[in-house]
A = this chain, B = another copy of it.
């Protein structure tokens, strides 16, 4: 578990003094792990027992144990916490914050994903007669990307961001079809209706959305990437990174499930495309990276 992200997540629940401790640590995590409890208490402007209580609240045995956990979180190079962009931030500052927030988000999603559900989703997909990806707005982008990925496999794939086409597709769907619906909120009426329509026609519906949403309840299988709280108006849309990566995972699971013969085929396709780049005289779009 990433301790820095954990601190940030719990920050709101803390009392006034404990929040001071949290802030002092988040502001200079590297210094925090090299400080004694007295030094940290001083720099946070609180008493030593307060720091100790803070550590216990973070589910550690005490201050030394807390430092150990924090050190492990910092070990991977950089502390990635979701931090809000400030209007006085320099380029370096906001770039760092955005990339770190993205990483923190991916980290959290990775840890909260239910592997069993992923496994079942891969089961469904690898046995599908036909796979369809739908989303609207920002999630349309994700659906589009998913189609690009699955296009490389020998399975019929479909994508559209036109709600009328989407409806027609669901109405004409049937047993053996798998429909993947992507919606960050899970509260977009059109998506919920598509799920209902599709299920009425025995289409298997996989939703990538947020927990407790109408869409999650309507779908046969729900993948629920839990992204950190929306801390900032200026850097939204981070959740689609998680969605994209999740779909990478499903595509990988798909290909592993389909066996070695199938993978051989993909390798050949890839190499054939690689030889047709700019410097070789032939040209192809980018979806072959």
Q: Enumerate chain A interface residues (CB-CB to B < 8 A).
A: 33-34, 64-65, 67-68, 71-80, 85, 87, 89, 91-92, 94-96, 98-100, 102-103, 106-107, 109-110, 113, 115-116, 118-119, 122, 135-141, 144-145, 148-149, 183-185, 187-190, 192, 213-214, 230, 233-241, 244-245, 248-249, 252-253, 255-256, 260, 263, 266-267, 270, 277-279, 283-289
Contact = CB atoms under 8 A, between A and B. Distances in A.
A75 B241 CA distance: 23
A196 to B, nearest CB: 14
A188 B284 contact: yes
B98 A248 contact: yes
Contacts of A33: 68
A208 to B, nearest CB: 11
Contact of A91 (B74, B122, B283): B122
Contact of A283 (B73, B148, B190): B190
Contacts of A79: 76
A239 B289 contact: yes
A83 to B, nearest CB: 12
Nearest to A90: B115
B234 A244 contact: no
A92 B75 contact: no
19 contacts: A64-B64, A72-B75, A91-B122, A94-B249, A99-B106, A102-B106, A137-B285, A140-B287, A141-B148, A148-B237, A185-B278, A185-B286, A188-B278, A188-B285, A230-B289, A233-B266, A234-B255, A240-B244, A244-B244
